[in-house]
Structures are given as structure tokens and as C-alpha cells.
Structure 1
Amino acid sequence: MHRVLVVWITVNVSQMLPFSQQTNCQQAILHVLNGSTAQDFCIAYNHSWTPLPQTLDAAEEYSLVNMTSTTLCNQSGVRPEVVKDKAMVVMRGDCPFSQKAQVAQSLGASVLLIASLETLVTPSADNYSGVQIPLALMRYGDFVEAQQVFGEEMQVRLYAPRVGRIDPSLVILLLISIITVALGGYWSRACERDGLSSSGGCGSAGYKADSGDLFLASPLKVVIFVALMCGMIILMYYFYNYLVYIIIAMFCFASATALFQCLNAVLEKLRCPSGSFTIRNTDLSARCLILAAVCISVSVVWAVYRNEDRWIWILQDILGFFFCLNFIKTVSLSNFKICVILLSLLLLYDVFFVFITPFFTKSGVSVMVQVALGPNASNEKTQGNMVAIPAEPQAPTEKIPIVMRVPRFSAWALNLCQVQFSILGYGDIIVPGLLVAYCSKFDVWMNSKKIYFFSSCLAYLLGMIATFVAMVLSDTGQPALLYLVPFTVITSAAVAGCRGEMRQFWTGTFYEVLDSSREPLLSDARTARTD
């Protein structure tokens, strides 16, 4: 049950997929150079009144004048000939940004940089009329570092790399999700087929399917299951700082277990020798021991370096892939009725905790986002086109490992400011994946040549594409289950209806017999193994 509870705490967090139009990007790059030495730093600017070139080659080069001894609220102490046609850096404070910009422009400066000891925010004010020079905020610590590296003779260029609305990271997330769902369905099919073959059919009284370790076979169990999820996410919202470490520990255990189960199944399929031996009347397998050590080591490495955003996302996605894959194979839904009830309740759960809860939270951030991103989620919420960048490196905040993360490649240069990710919740893979797994097993029961499996996988793919399209068009995150559930459920029902198998598809076969005195819906002859 450990690996079950981890993912169901927050079923879907795909609504945080960060899409930004190029016009909404308020972060830029300060390229500092002196001779052959160069270094880039993060700056915050306002594109609406200080447009910057999109490439370094197109950016004009200026000499930088150190005026951090003044806040530049007036011209006193600054000689125009010193800053004329140059970039100048002053300190933040004492007066509005617009006033500093007007003073710098009257002195003949070409660029104004404001060194800040506080959080960098998008420069904004009401009175920017007449201001023609670029203005941007930079970290004071970055300026000190630049002085130490380049001395006082610095040249600077300012540019804002283009950030597209459609990022290549979406393709990677799409591939990860569809491959995981397809493999999960295929694995469930293989287990079901092997189980039926060894038992002599689904009507065999002694048969117990090994395609899943946890069965959801009644509506009451599903309702209780979803209710527990609601309670858990609420507890996480109020006691995040305490429970996050428990969830991280559970994920380490669950992901290591899933990695072992998946790799061991592959090795079994390849007929790799187990290297069995006995110690004190206990049978052991050298292959399993080595594999377990490797899986535990991978999980421990992730736990140790989980806050290294630059590269740990690769390992988290690998563990997440096997986690979701093993979950789809482990949990079995007994019939289409249970699938509809579960997916419908989770859709309502998703929409409620994403769209409704912001009206009740103090920060205006949904409970789903708060739990997924941690206590600082409210700080990451943008106000219109505004951004906020910490003035100093911040201690990493713990986050629940329940998402696939891929860096936004179109914003790669802006990772100097903060690493930007496209993310997809594990629930957006697992929840529809359970339906795909049921469809795959139903193919085995009905000898239907994988028609249900392929159609449900195609429906999932189209649902994911619809989710991404909606995000791009609205420029805001969307709960993926809002699209995935209708696509997969309606498609599966349509296939069953067209084939005249809705009654069997709705009520299932063997699993319902476990809880009732009814005869199996299908005869043994129709459950013969098919390839």
C-alpha cells in the first residue's frame, strides 16, 4: 500500500505546466565582458516600456559605470560627462524606478541598471512617459561578483531571449506519458493472459489474477478511496512541513520497489540466470540481491540530491516512469463501471482542488498547487506579467515528488534567474492508465485482437494533446483529467457499444464473481489465450 498512497495524495498537478508567451517574459540576460572574458547574469525588466533585443548579437555594447554610491533620485553628485552614452548601475531605494530612469536619461545615460538587495521585481509604475532608455534590476551580489571578475572596466549587453509558447519539453512529457500508459496496459495484458492460461480460464474457481495486487471491485471501495485522498491532501495543506518528509521517504521506498519489480520482470523475460544459493536454509538469488542493491542506490541518490534542479529531474523522471508503470500493473479495476465511477470522482476531485479551493485559501493559490509546489507556491504565483526573483540564493524548499519534470528548453538561457520546468502529475498518467489496463485485459477475455487497448491508448494520446492545446491557447495551466477522462471513457464505451459488448464491458468478468454468486459472464471457451 505504500506505493499506492504516495501518488494518490495529489492525483493531478499538471495545471502548473508553465507556459509563457514571449511577450510575457520579464526576465533577461546581462552579458558582462572584459576582453575575452565574459559572464551572464540574470536581470528583471519590463518589456512594455523597455524592449530589449532577442539575441546577444543584436544587443548594443555599453561601458558600465559604477554609481552604486547613489540611489539616483536626483542629479546631485553625478557628472553628465561620466555617464553619457554609457550604462550606469545605481542602488535601489529612496524613490520610484521611473524617477531614477528620468534622472539617468537627463544625464545622458543609455542604460540604467538598479542593483538590489531585495527581491527583483518587474519595474512598474504609472509615470514612464518620456523614458526612452532601458531599465533593469540586477542582484547586488551579482554586481559585486562581476567587479571581482572583471574589475571596473566592464562592457555590458542586455538582451531578452525569445521564449516561445510551445516548448519542446511538452513533446518529451507527451512521449513519457503515452509510453508509460501503453507499457502499463501491455504488462497488465501479459499478466492476465498468463494467469488465464495457467488457470484454465476465467471461470476456474481456483483462479486469482496476478495482474494486480490491489483490487477495486465495488463502488463503496472507490468512494472510500477518493475520500481518503481528499483527507490526505487537506492534511498535506495544513501540515506540509511535517508530512513532506514522510512522503519523500515513502516515495524512495515505492520507487525502489517499482524499479526492482520492472527490471526483474525484464530479466525474467530475457531468461537471465538467477544464480540461486542457500544460506542457513534460506534460498537467495544473486541476481535479485544485486538488482535490489542497484535500485536502492538509485533511490538513495535521488533522495540525497533531490533539490539539485539542474540535473536531478532526469533521475526523478526515471523513477517516476517505473513508479507509474508498476502502479498501473499493480492496481486492478474490476469492470468498466468501477472505471467510470473512479475516473469521474477523480475528475471532480481534480477540478475542485484546482479551480474551487483558491476562493477559500488566503494566498489565492489552489490547494493542489500549494501541496505540489510547497509552502512557497504563493510566491511563485505571477500577478499579471510581473515576476519576482530572489535577490540571494534561497535554500531549496522540499517538494513532494509526484510529477514528471522537464526543463523548458526555449527558456534555457533564462535558467540563470530560476530553472523553469514543464511538469505533469503522476495522476495524469496513472488514472487513465488504469482504464487502459482494464481495456487491455478485456481484450484478453474477449479475444478482441487488442482493439480496446489500441483505442484507449489513442484516446489518451488525443486527450493529452487537447490538454496541451488548451494550455497554449489559454496561456494558463489546465487540470489534465478534465480532458483525459472524457476522451478515454467515451472512446472505450463507444468501442464496446459498436462491438455489441457493452454489457460484458460494463460488468466485467471474473472479478465480480468473487463478490457475488453470479456465474461468469464469459464462457471458458471465449477466454482462450490469444496472441
Structure 2
Amino acid sequence: MTTLILFIVVCSSLWIDKVACDNDAHIYYSGSQTSYPDKKWSDHFCITYNPKFHSLSTKVNTATVYDLVDLSRDPGCHLSNAYNNNTNVTDKVVAIARGNCTFTEKARVAQDHGAAGILIVSSDMVNPGANQTSDYDTINIVVASIRTADFVDIMKEGPDVEVKLVALGARGLDFTVIIIGVLAVSCVAVGGFWAGKTSTSDSKKSTQIAAGKPAGKTGDSDDADDSDEEPDISITAVIVFFLLVCTFLVLLYFFYDYLVYVVIIMFCLAGTIGLFACLEPLCRRIPWEARLPSNRIPLLRQRPLYRDIILGVLCLGVAVVWGIERKARFAWIVQDILGFAFCVNMLKTLRLPNLKICVVLMVLLFFYDIFFVFITPYITSSGESVMVKVATGGSAGSSSGEQIPMVFKVPHLWTACYGVQFSLLGFGDIVVPGLLISYNHRFDVKMTTKRIPIYFISTVIAYAVGLLITFVALYLMGKGQPALLYLVPCTLGTTFVIGCLRGEARSLWAGISKQRNTAKPQSEINTGAPVTTVKSADQSSSDGSSDGGSESRLLINTRK
């Protein structure tokens, strides 16, 4: 279960901002029925357009004025009769119906008849895309979409309507990215710190057991059930995991409408477990130790505490509320709460055994992020980035209207044309670097307990710097960024530099468990473990004589 959830999480390792907003535009209109001639271009509606076909001006004063031709009863396909009635559409914008043919076909037919652009009238707003990347080279007219109700209002201006199409352009700095950055840094810091705290508790229990004392509560341990054993993870297992991640992402791209519901269910389960794991240490402080009576119910045979049952039900209720109301305006808040708890629990629970495994995993996912964001647009027929399309709602033609929930979402401060727009940061960009941060903190507390956790603090700062670089690249390039491209070098590079400066690079690479095993004989001596010595027969005999003499002297002295 944990592995399945982890590679679903890694699939969504991307930071996106301004995704749908780049396609927003306004249509300004004027006709014979305009009430106030002095405010000729003041009325407008929202439209969406594809800038890859033809760009638009960002200023009303410089925008081109087009005559609008109403052919909205016809889809404007190859076999339609829209252009066969001696209708002059040269250098005009043609309004056509949604219909069954592709946007590329509609645009090519209109372009062949000399039109300057098409306005697709649809009951639902659509983002007109191309069938394949080469279509953007052969079609050079405006391709836009408008809602039916808005188009009807425009046509009330009379038979002769003029329009201006104006792109909204970039919105500038939006402080929601700061909120997402704080969420991400807080998540890796809390998860990494908790992982080190758990290791400290495990070390105290191990010391008590080695000293022959009962391993009771250590006072500061909220994780008494966690094991001190380091997982045995091989490079082969990491490579298999990486191949599963790639496969699942491709399956999501092609079968998004079906697999997205599997991901939603997994998120609800993982969010419930994570929220319970984060709140359960607080719940332990409630002085109520009553347990469920003996029973034969499979999930309740262990007689859990009533307080744990109540907490579990409440956590499940939060996840169920999100699952039912996931498209509501407030749903992003609940999603971020569940996501935060889930990521913290993953970082606290999952333990990478050594830096070698960390490096292999992070380097593979580093190239994974680059390939699926920057390379796949040159491979897919539509020119889409596989990662971006999966993170924002599936490949072209997706009809589910669902979105992958394995992301932090924060709405923009400004309002877009249609609906609220969000900044997104995938959980993979938190969990993957966070596993290294957790390992570093465990290394800090287990190698030397009385020192500043330099590896932990440094890599948390490096993670924050990597996020800042991602944010800058996001706004300079104006498109979704593979955050691991910047986070992996920052966190891994910092770890290696500090390890080399402190002379601990080999210890980091070998791992905590091997380093602990190397020091085991000395620890046994210090804790009073028995030392067995093998003696020869002669030595035993001489020892026996000596012992006997000692015993005789002891008896003589006693008699005296």
C-alpha cells in the first residue's frame, strides 16, 4: 500500500502557475444598438483562445477591429454549407457552432475562405487545441471560444457587430506562491524533524534493552511502536520503483478519465492515515485508557482504545467530506490539510538506509521530471507535456472534469475569466527531497547526539533555496516547471559539501545501520556485555591450581 501511494505521489512532481490563465482573453464589442457611443469599447465578455495558432494584442487601443459574421448554426466543418451561401468572411471573425469536427478542421476551413479568425460558440467553455504540433505551423488565424449565453448578448447589438479580441496577458507577481513555498518547507522540516525524533526514541529503547532494562516509555517518545531496524532497499528495487512510476504516469495520460478516480480514492485513504498519524500523539495525552471489549471483529480484535477509534472516525470523516465536496470553493483548504498530514507521515515513516540509495532515487527522478515536462512535447502528437496535462486534468479530450489531488493548491488572489485559478505544487516535490532531509536528520541524531543537526538544518535551507529558484524560473519561462530539476542539485549538493568538509562523506554513503554496526563491539564493552575467552587445557589447569591456592588461603585466613 505504501509503495503504491508513493509512486502515485511521485507522478505529480511539478510546480505549475498561470496554467489556464495564459489562454484567457476578452472580446470587446460594438454595434448599431450600442447605448452610449462615447463608451463604444467598454462592454466585453470573457473568451478562451489558443496563442499557439495566433497571438492577440494585450491592449484595447491597439487591438485589431474585426467584423463579426454569425454562422453559429453551422459547425463549419469540411462538409458543412456555412461558406457556400456567398457569405463574405474575408478578414472577418466567424462565429461557428461547436459541432463534432476538430478545432483544427474548423480553423483550416475558415482560413481557406479568407477568415481572420473563428469564434467557437459552445454551452461550456473549451480550450481549442490542435490535433498535432505541425498544425500550429499551417494555421495562422485566431482560434477562440465563447459561451453561448455571452454570444447571444453580443448579437443583441444588431446585425453589424464589430469586435476586438484582447489577451489578458501575464498577471505579474502573485503572493500565493509564497504560501505554497511556506507549506512545502514546513512540511519537509516537520517530517524530517519527526523522523530524527523517532530515531532518538528508538536509540533510547535499544540502549535500555542492551543494559537489561525493560523498554518502557522513554518520556519523550510518541512513536513507541516504530522499529529501529533500517530497511533493506537495494538499487534494483529503486530501479523497479522508478519504472513503475514512469509506467503509471503514461497510463494516467492515456486513461486519465478512469485512473483519476483510483488516485482520488487512494488520496482519501492516505490522507486519513496521515491525519491520524499526526494527531494520534496529541490524542495520547488525553487521560482516557478505556479499551474496546474482547471481540472477533477482524479490524477490532486488538481492542483499540476508544479515543483512537473516535480519532480515526473523525479523520475518515474529513477525507470523506473532501471526496464529496472536492469541487467546492473551500475544498482546496481540506485538500492541503490532508496533503500536509500525508506528506509528514510519509517522511516520518519511510526510511532510506543510506545516501547511496538517496542519490540513485533522486537522480533517476531528476531525469524523469525533465523528460516528462520538457521532452515529451516533442514526442506527443498534440505537442502536450505529459506531466503538465496529467497534473492539470489529463490529455486532450478528457471529459471527467477531475484533477489529480496529489498536489498543494492555493487560489490566486486575482480572479480569472472562468473559475478560480490555482498555483499547484506536486507532493512528489516534497516527499522525494524530504526523504533525503529525513535521512540527514537521522544521521545527525544517531551519529552524535550532542551536536547541532547541521545536515538537517542545511538541507532544509537548501530546499527553500531550490523552491525559490523554481519560482523564478516559473515566471521567467511562463510555464510549469519540473521542481526536482532545481531541488535535487540544491539538497544533494549541500549534503555532499558538508559531508566532505566534516570528513563524514563515507559514513553518509555507507548508511546509519552499517556505521552503527561498526561501533557495536565498543558499545557492548561500555554497557557491560560479557566477554568470553577461550583457554587451553594447560591454562585451565594452572588457573585451577591458582584458584585452589586462593581458596586454601581464604580458608586459613578465615580460621584465624
Task: Please give the TM-score of this superposition, normalised by the length of structure 1.
Answer: 0.71
SS at match of 2:401: coil
Which of 367, 373, 378 does residue 348 from structure 1 map onto? 367
1:280-429 map, 5 Å? 280=294, 283-308=303-328, 310-375=329-394, 377-378=395-396, 396-409=400-413, 412-414=414-416, 416-429=417-430
- For residue 420 of structure 2, what is the amino acid of its counterpart? V
2:197 corresponding residue in structure 1: 190
Note the C-alpha offset of 1:287.
1.7
* 2: CA distance, partners of 1:524 / 1:346: 41
1:510 corresponding residue in structure 2: 513
Uncovered stretches (5+) of structure 2, i.e. residues with no partner:
37-41, 62-67, 74-81, 88-92, 98-108, 130-137, 158-162, 216-223, 296-300, 528-560
Confirm or deny: 8 A CA contact 1:408 1:422 kept in the other structure.
yes
* 1: CA distance, partners of 2:525 / 2:260: 51
* Residues 1:276 and 2:276 are matched in the alignment: no
Q: Deviations over 1:91-113 (max 9, x none)?
A: 548967998899xxxxxxxxxx9
Residues 97/320 of structure 1: CA separation in 2 closer, same or farther (3 Å cut): farther
* 1: CA distance, partners of 2:209 / 2:43: 67
Confirm or deny: 8 A CA contact 2:234 2:357 kept in the other structure.
yes
Which of 10, 26, 29 does residue 28 from structure 1 map onto? 26
* 1: CA distance, partners of 2:423 / 2:437: 25
* 1: CA distance, partners of 2:182 / 2:518: 42
1:9 corresponding residue in structure 2: 8
- For residue 480 of structure 1, what is the amino acid of its counterpart? A
Confirm or deny: 8 A CA contact 2:190 2:344 kept in the other structure.
yes
* Residues 1:180 and 2:187 are matched in the alignment: yes
Note the C-alpha offset of 1:142.
2.9
2:234 corresponding residue in structure 1: 218
* Residues 1:263 and 2:296 are matched in the alignment: no
Note the C-alpha offset of 1:247.
2.4
Question: Mean alpha-carbon deviation: is it higher for 7-16 or for 205-214?
Answer: 205-214
Note the C-alpha offset of 1:90.
9.1
Question: Mean alpha-carbon deviation: is it higher for 471-480 or for 350-359?
Answer: 350-359
- For residue 279 of structure 2, what is the amino acid of its counterpart? L
- For residue 458 of structure 2, what is the amino acid of its counterpart? S
- For residue 188 of structure 1, what is the amino acid of its counterpart? A
1:103-142 map, 5 Å? 116-117=121-122, 119=126, 138-142=146-150
User: What is the percentage of aligned positions where both structures have the same residue?
Assistant: 37
Residues 526/422 of structure 1: CA separation in 2 closer, same or farther (3 Å cut): farther
Residues 492/67 of structure 1: CA separation in 2 closer, same or farther (3 Å cut): closer
Q: Deviations over 1:2-50 (max 9, x none)?
A: 244224135254546134799x664238799999xx9985234789665
- For residue 218 of structure 1, what is the amino acid of its counterpart? S
- For residue 246 of structure 1, what is the amino acid of its counterpart? V
Note the C-alpha offset of 1:489.
0.7
- For residue 192 of structure 1, what is the amino acid of its counterpart? S
- For residue 324 of structure 2, what is the amino acid of its counterpart? V
Task: Please give the TM-score of this superposition, normalised by the length of structure 2.
Answer: 0.68
Confirm or deny: 8 A CA contact 1:213 1:330 kept in the other structure.
no
* 1: CA distance, partners of 2:280 / 2:473: 39
Structure possessing the higher radius of gyration over alpha carbons: 2
- For residue 181 of structure 1, what is the amino acid of its counterpart? V
Note the C-alpha offset of 1:490.
1.1
Confirm or deny: 8 A CA contact 2:408 2:427 kept in the other structure.
yes
SS at match of 2:231: strand
1:105 corresponding residue in structure 2: none
Question: Mean alpha-carbon deviation: is it higher for 453-462 or for 335-344?
Answer: 335-344
Confirm or deny: 8 A CA contact 1:307 1:396 kept in the other structure.
no
Note the C-alpha offset of 1:495.
1.3
Q: Deviations over 1:180-220 (max 9, x none)?
A: 00000111111111111122189899999926898353323
SS at match of 1:272: coil
Note the C-alpha offset of 1:483.
1.0
Note the C-alpha offset of 1:290.
1.6
* Residues 1:455 and 2:453 are matched in the alignment: no
SS at match of 2:415: helix
Residues 509/115 of structure 1: CA separation in 2 closer, same or farther (3 Å cut): closer
Q: Deviations over 1:232-287 (max 9, x none)?
A: 3334344434333222222211111111111112333xx12345134236634222
Residues 98/298 of structure 1: CA separation in 2 closer, same or farther (3 Å cut): farther
SS at match of 1:9: helix
- For residue 303 of structure 1, what is the amino acid of its counterpart? G
* 1: CA distance, partners of 2:522 / 2:501: 19
SS at match of 2:408: strand
Uncovered stretches (5+) of structure 1, i.e. residues with no partner:
55-65, 78-88, 103-112, 129-134, 151-155, 380-393
* Residues 1:240 and 2:256 are matched in the alignment: yes
* 1: CA distance, partners of 2:249 / 2:496: 31
1:58-73 map, 5 Å? none
Confirm or deny: 8 A CA contact 2:11 2:245 kept in the other structure.
no
Confirm or deny: 8 A CA contact 2:20 2:421 kept in the other structure.
no
* 1: CA distance, partners of 2:243 / 2:343: 21
Confirm or deny: 8 A CA contact 2:433 2:463 kept in the other structure.
yes
SS at match of 1:363: coil
Residues 188/350 of structure 1: CA separation in 2 closer, same or farther (3 Å cut): same
- For residue 121 of structure 2, what is the amino acid of its counterpart? S
Confirm or deny: 8 A CA contact 2:13 2:369 kept in the other structure.
no
Residues 99/141 of structure 1: CA separation in 2 closer, same or farther (3 Å cut): farther
